[in-house]
A and B are shown apart, each in its own frame.
Chain A
Amino acid sequence: MQLANRRHELVIGMVLAVLAAVCFGAAVAAAQQADGKAGTLPLTTRSPEALQLVQTAWELNLDQVEQEKAVEVLRKAVQIDPNFAMAHELLAQSSLDPAEQVREQHKAFATRGFASPAERQVIEWWQDASDHKLISAITKMNDVLAQYPHDKWVVFLSTWWLTLQTQNERAVAVYQRSGITDSPGLMNNTAYAYAYMRQFEPAFALMDQYVAALPGDANPQDSYAEILRMAGKFDKAVEHYRAALTINPEFYSSEFGIADTYSLMGDQDRARKEYEVAFKRFPLPELHQVQWKTREAQTYVREGDFAGADKAFQAIADQAHAKHMSQVEADTYRQMAMYQPSPKKTLFFINRADAAIREGKNSMPAALQQERAQVLRARIEANLKSGNRLTAQSELKRLAAMASNSSDRLIEVAWQGAAGAVAFSQHKYDDAISHLEEDTNNPLSLKLLAEAYQKIGDSAGAKRTSQTLASINDPTLEQALVVLPFRKCYPDSGCSGNVKAVSLKK
């Protein structure tokens, strides 16, 4: 804790020292920025100091991947100039505190009148995205991109948002078109976009460039490790995580990354020891705490210790409740519902998730709607599991209505996945396939999809889908619940798993 605080103070101190040194020049810089240099997104503020802070925050965020430090700097910027709309927007996007995300998005929108037209477009694009106005958000993003196709920050914001929208191919295209080859942060993000498409060769090539660009930084090694892990190269991943920690022993993402990797390798005891060490060593911001506490809880699910999992997940839910993080609380209960062997307990936790959503504290409206859809999907799947098909169908209608009234991709895929599961339960395999093909990021849907292909005699489709499913190495509950049992049977056609007679052999 003390170490981390000292690091923050040090960073702020350094920033202030730089500010003092450039005080005179900054006023000029502010004027230039306000006018908008050719090809550069203007940043409008009455304070040269706030402008300098935002520029520092950008660098910290993107190229140094120091998100917490960037957040500290952005908080200072909005304190100096409360009408600095883009600073509010960046803080909304980069904050690790859900309440701050909501608050700062409101402020960005409210103060956009003080900003230039291009900045207003950026703010409205993110507001539209938050309000589920997808077409308007896309149009605004592309208009900003058309004006500033080579601006590093615009390219970063665009590729980031596109990746959130699972438009990885397009994110890569925006990066390539930008012609920017000297931004370590963009190399990093683009490598992830490739990895999400399971194109590991270009991802590794970019990682090599990223490591070469910042040989003294921990994050390139950390990212390399994570992408290696996604590709199933666990031992090499641990090597790179350790290399990151050698460079910077305080780089907690790598310490937790090692724990995640051991968990995926099947060594849950070792994983929990690593998590314990990491939690003791590093104080974390709220959402990072939730992320790794959740992964720690998943270790119990991976070894079938559901009582242990209940205890660990309940602690997260209680903490989220105490901190008024309703969406976190709801999602934790949703996950608890997913692994329960007893239908009664499943329903109990789904109801608790719904109750948390109804409280709706410190959460973006769009995020709450997404969570509501996920919980409804869990309810439908639970009903299918316990044979309540009529109830499942009636709940599916509710989810369909949500999807049709929203342009949110996450809600849409939740409906597609649930509709696929319902169609599958009715032995309508063609119908199931058409829905499940729209939800290929979820192991639950992939498993059903492989089975549905098999049922209709599409062996190539079944094989392709099974290969994808078997190669998923994400530290998620869905991976633990679906992929691990699936791998035990795969590719053994005599196994008692549901997907039979699908072989990797060519």
Chain B
Amino acid sequence: MRGWKRFLLPALLMTVPYCAHGKQWAVVTNTGNAATNVSAAELLKMFNGHTRSWPDGKPVIIVIRGSSSEEMQPVLRKLFDMTGTQVHSFIQLHKGMVIEADSDDAVIHFVSVTHGAIGVVDLYSLTKDVRVVKIDGKLPVEQGYILRGN
């Protein structure tokens, strides 16, 4: 018997979770960043280098977790609007603008100490040290959020 079964339905009567769910992602910024909502179009411009600074003049620094990891590929394709290979080349050419971190915690740490940083992390790694920025008015838990499965 699994320890401490919490028999709340429908968890009780439904099938057990036997597969890993698709990851849920969140775009985060430094808590000092005044931007609480960004349009999807503006976000793409930041990621593909067309927008280089925030309205307050601070440079945009993109922080992502290992661009070569399989689970990041769909996220990167969406945000950079490029193929996986193109993303990789883009990162190589823009090393000052795009930072690769080796974990979600590292992304959060970098964003939390860098004013203009914007990062992408697993939703379940969120801490109070960063701000979840809305995209087109939507939070990561809402339908239609840019990084949701569909």
A residues apposed to B, CB below 8 Å: 61-63, 65, 67, 93-94, 96, 98, 101, 134-135, 138-139, 142-143, 146, 156, 160, 162-170, 185, 188-189, 192, 195-198, 219, 222-223, 226, 230, 253, 287-288, 290-291, 294, 327-328, 331, 335, 364, 367, 370-371, 374, 400, 403-404, 407, 409-410, 412-413, 415-416, 434-435, 437-438, 440-443, 468, 472, 474, 476-479
A304 to B39: give the CA distance in the assembly, Å: 53
Q: Are A138 and B20 in contact (CB under 8 A)?
A: no
B97, CB-defined interface residue at 8 Å: no
B22, CB-defined interface residue at 8 Å: yes
B125, CB-defined interface residue at 8 Å: yes
Closest residue of chain B to A482 (Cβ to Cβ) is B15
A98 to B10: give the CA distance in the assembly, Å: 12
B17, CB-defined interface residue at 8 Å: yes
A interface, over-half SS: helix
Q: Are B126 and A438 in contact (CB under 8 A)?
A: no
What would 20 A/B residue contacts be, using CB atoms closer than 8 Å? A62-B3, A65-B2, A93-B4, A134-B123, A138-B123, A142-B126, A162-B124, A164-B11, A189-B3, A196-B19, A198-B19, A291-B7, A364-B8, A404-B142, A437-B149, A441-B16, A443-B15, A472-B18, A474-B15, A476-B13
Which of B17, B123, B150 has most chain A Cβ within 10 Å? B17
A407 to B16: give the CA distance in the assembly, Å: 20
Q: Which 5 A-B pairs have the closest CB atoms?
A: A407-B141, A287-B7, A404-B143, A253-B1, A166-B17
A404 to B26: give the CA distance in the assembly, Å: 16
Q: Are B3 and A188 in contact (CB under 8 A)?
A: yes
Shortest CB-to-CB span from A199 to chain B, Å, is 9
Closest residue of chain B to A64 (Cβ to Cβ) is B3
Q: Are B127 and A146 in contact (CB under 8 A)?
A: yes
Q: Are B12 and A287 in contact (CB under 8 A)?
A: yes
Partner of B19, one of A65, A288, A440: A440
Q: Are A143 and B127 in contact (CB under 8 A)?
A: yes
Q: Are B4 and A67 in contact (CB under 8 A)?
A: yes
Q: Are A138 and B13 in contact (CB under 8 A)?
A: no
Contacts of B132 in A (CB 8 A): 135
A368 to B5: give the CA distance in the assembly, Å: 19
Closest residue of chain A to B122 (Cβ to Cβ) is A170
Which of A167, A219, A403, A472 has most chain B Cβ within 10 Å? A167
Q: Are B4 and A61 in contact (CB under 8 A)?
A: yes
Contacts of B3 in A (CB 8 A): 61-63, 65, 156, 160, 185, 188-189
Contacts of B21 in A (CB 8 A): 166-167, 409, 413, 438, 440-441
B50, CB-defined interface residue at 8 Å: no
Q: Are B5 and A441 in contact (CB under 8 A)?
A: no
Partner of A442, one of B15, B20, B127, B141: B15
Shortest CB-to-CB span from B54 to chain A, Å, is 22
- Would you list which residues of chain B between 93 and 150 have a CB under 8 Å from chain A? 122-128, 132, 139-144, 149-150
Given A223-B2, A374-B10: A167 and B141 interface contact (C-beta under 8 Å): no
Q: Are A62 and B4 in contact (CB under 8 A)?
A: yes
B41, CB-defined interface residue at 8 Å: no
Closest residue of chain B to A184 (Cβ to Cβ) is B3
A403 to B126: give the CA distance in the assembly, Å: 22
Given A328-B9, A407-B141: A468 and B19 interface contact (C-beta under 8 Å): yes
Q: Are B4 and A160 in contact (CB under 8 A)?
A: yes
Shortest CB-to-CB span from A163 to chain B, Å, is 8
Q: How many residues of B contact A (CB 8 A)?
A: 39
A381 to B15: give the CA distance in the assembly, Å: 17
Q: Are A67 and B15 in contact (CB under 8 A)?
A: no
Contacts of A404 in B (CB 8 A): 142-144
Closest residue of chain A to B13 (Cβ to Cβ) is A331
Closest residue of chain A to B16 (Cβ to Cβ) is A474
Shortest CB-to-CB span from B83 to chain A, Å, is 19
Partner of A327, one of B9, B26, B126: B9
Shortest CB-to-CB span from A260 to chain B, Å, is 12
Contacts of A476 in B (CB 8 A): 13-16
Which of B16, B126, B132 has most chain A Cβ within 10 Å? B16
Shortest CB-to-CB span from A373 to chain B, Å, is 9
Contacts of B123 in A (CB 8 A): 134-135, 138
Taking A62-B3, A437-B22 as given, write out 10 further A-B residue pairs in contact, using a Cβ cutoff of 8 Å, ordered by the A residue number: A135-B139, A163-B17, A192-B2, A196-B18, A287-B7, A412-B143, A438-B149, A443-B15, A468-B19, A476-B13
A164 to B3: give the CA distance in the assembly, Å: 13
Shortest CB-to-CB span from B128 to chain A, Å, is 5
Contacts of B5 in A (CB 8 A): 67
Partner of A434, one of B9, B17, B125, B149: B149
- Would you list which residues of chain B between 1 and 58 have a CB under 8 Å from chain A? 1-22, 26
Contacts of A198 in B (CB 8 A): 18-19
Partner of A197, one of B10, B14, B19, B143: B19
Q: Are A134 and B9 in contact (CB under 8 A)?
A: no
Shortest CB-to-CB span from A187 to chain B, Å, is 10
Partner of B2, one of A135, A189, A434, A442: A189
Closest residue of chain B to A419 (Cβ to Cβ) is B150
A253 to B1: give the CA distance in the assembly, Å: 7
Q: Are A139 and B127 in contact (CB under 8 A)?
A: yes
Shortest CB-to-CB span from A157 to chain B, Å, is 9
Closest residue of chain A to B141 (Cβ to Cβ) is A407
A62 to B3: give the CA distance in the assembly, Å: 6
Shortest CB-to-CB span from A400 to chain B, Å, is 7
Q: Are A370 and B12 in contact (CB under 8 A)?
A: no
Partner of B124, one of A167, A226, A434, A435: A167
Closest residue of chain A to B5 (Cβ to Cβ) is A67
Q: Are B22 and A438 in contact (CB under 8 A)?
A: yes
Shortest CB-to-CB span from B112 to chain A, Å, is 12
